[in-house]
Structure 1
Amino acid sequence: APAHRLAALAAEAATVLAFARSGAAAADRGEDVRVTGAQVLYLAGDLARRAAAESVHLHGAYGMTEACDAQLFLRRAAVDSQWLGTGTELLREAAARGAADPADPA
C-alpha cells in the first residue's frame, strides 16, 4: 500500500506542476495570473505538507529523528505555510482577486 500512496502524491505533484506551467505561459502572454498564482501556491503548499507528513509516516519513528531528512521536510513545510500563508488565507486572497476589477493592476 505505500507504493499506492506515493504514486498518488506523485500524480498530484505532476498535476500541480502542469497547473503552474500553464499559469506561467499565461503570464508570458500578458494575462492576469494573480488568481492562478494564489491557487498554485495553495495547491503546492498543501501538497508539500501532506507529502512530508506521509514521508515521516512511512519512515516510522526513524522519520522523526535528526538522522532522517523526512522530519526536516516536514518542519520546512510547516514554516513555509506560516511564511507564505495558510491555505484558507490563500484561497480567500484568490477569491478577492478574482472579484476585483481586472483593470486594477494591484
Structure 2
Amino acid sequence: MRESKNQRSLSSMITRQSVSTPAHWSMEQWVEYLDEKFARHHKECTEGVTQMIASIKEVEEKMTTQGQEILKLQELETEREEESTAMALEISILQNRQK
C-alpha cells in the first residue's frame, strides 16, 4: 500500500526527534508517549526555573551584603566628616588664641 503525502509528512514529523513513534500507534500509546514527553519537558523546565530562582537568591544575598557594606561606609564617612569638622574647629580656636 502506498503512503499518502500527509502520512509521509506525519511520519517524518513524528520520527524527526530521533524517537521512533509509529503512526499506527493506538490512542493509548500516543497518550502515554505524550505524557512521558511532557513529564520530561516539565522536569527540565522545573530544573531550569529552580536554578534561576537559586541564582536570583544568590544575587539578592550579594546585593544585601553590598548594601550593608555601603551603609557601614556611609557611617564611617559621616564619622570622618564629624572628626574633620571638629579638628578644623580646634585649629581655628588655636589660631585665634595665638593672635
Length-normalised TM-score, structure 2: 0.32
Name which structure has the greater RCO, CA cutoff 8 Å, separation 6+. 1
Length-normalised TM-score, structure 1: 0.30
